[in-house]
Amino acid sequence: MTLYGVVYSTVMLQQKKAYKYRFYPSEEQKRILAQTFGCCRYVYNWALRQRTDAYYQRGERLYYEGMAQHLVLLKRLV
Domain count, the chain: 1
What single-letter amino acid sits at 68? A
pLDDT at 68 over 60: yes
Instruction: Calculate mean pLDDT across residues 8-30.
Output: 82
Are the beta carbons of 55 and 61 closer than 8 angstroms? yes
State the pTM of this model.
Answer: 0.65
In this predicted structure, what is the pLDDT of residue 66?
86
Domain span including residue 43: 2-77
**Among 65, 69, 66, 74, which Cα is nearest to 43's?**
74
pLDDT at 15 over 60: yes
